[in-house]
Amino acid sequence: MSLPEGAELHIVADDADYRNEGFSDDIRPYLGWEWQQKKKGKVKLWARISQFLAAHFPDAKNAMDMERGLLAQRLRNSRSFAETHAVIAEVKDLDGFNDEHLRYLGEALVENSQVRAIRHDGDVHEFYSGILNKYHSRFDEDLKAKLTELIGS
């Protein structure tokens, strides 16, 4: 398959080999330069397919909703501290959680010992504090009380 001159290349990968060093979500400068030399186009890196879909196909809400659900389930079923941190890193920037997603996220903290044990780590605490603040009225009262007690908000 060949692409025309000036073609924009979109890469969907949550892989450090593509990402610029530091805290950037941009493509590595060399890779951008290489595509510019070959096709006179730009390269855009997306960590998740839902980000790409949201930017280019706003009507593809189903895919983003599925991703939220899958990440919430992954957090609820996390088997290690590393996995918990990895899922939090993916889910922290998402928005638009439905009631089922919120229940899974809440259950992750209340019922999963891996998540609960690191609830005071900066990323985990920040995520749950934000979820509680933003969606407090949508949590079941019992679950909300347990979350508030665990997070301390």
Q: How do residues 88-143 score in pLDDT, each as one tens digit? A: 999 998 888 999 999 999 999 999 999 999 999 999 999 999 999 999 999 999 99
- Assign 3-class secondary structure to 52-79: HHHHHCCCCHHHHHHHHHHHHHHHHCCC
Cα dihedral: 24, 27, 32, 34 (round 10)? 130
Query: What's the mean pLDDT when you consider all of the chain?
Result: 89
Q: Which helix (H) or strand (E) holds 45?
A: strand 43-46
Q: How many CB atoms lie within 10 A of CB 27?
A: 22
Percentage of the chain modeled with pLDDT above 70:
94
pLDDT of residue 47: 82
* Mean pLDDT of the 9-21 span: 84
pLDDT on residue 106: 97
Of 5-14, 77-86, 94-103, the one with minimum mean pLDDT is 5-14
Predicted local distance difference test score (pLDDT) of residue 120: 96
